[in-house]
Amino acid sequence: MGNIWLKIKIWTKVSFFGLILVYMLIFVAKNSTEKVSFWYWFNRSADTSVLLFSLYAVLGGVVFTVLVSTTLKTIRQVRELRDKGRTGRIEREMADMKAKAAMLRPKPATPPTDAPDAPIP
């Protein structure tokens, strides 16, 4: 019983990818001969096929996506570095304040002599 479901699953995938392949071939055949004129700058346009125009549009989208993601990662890294620097500075300031406080109130090194002997914890 499990074997038949596996065959159905495989043939469904093969059929699906076959239909996609046929569609792509028809798309290439129809759009390789169609001409399009697209504007890219003031008083300038280029004549090319719809297929090449589609390819350029997809490649442009990929480049734009990579640039945006790289920019966002860089901004995030700069913020993290700024936060780390701020945290380090605050930690150094706290250490300095503790050192100054320790110098102002020195702790007695020996217990007072008039105090009764207390057990050392």
pLDDT in tens, 31-77: 888 888 888 888 888 888 888 888 899 999 999 999 999 999 999 99
Sorted by sequence, the CB contacts under 8 Å of residue 118 that are 6+ apart come out as 111
Collapsing DSSP to helix, strand or coil, 19 comes out as helix
Looking only at Cα atoms, what is the longest distance across the chain? 107
- The average confidence (pLDDT) of the chain is 87
What local confidence, expressed as pLDDT, does residue 58 receive?
94
What local confidence, expressed as pLDDT, does residue 106 receive?
60
What local confidence, expressed as pLDDT, does residue 3 receive?
87
Report residue 56: phi and psi, to 5°: -65, -40
pLDDT in tens, 80-104: 999 999 999 999 999 999 988 888 8
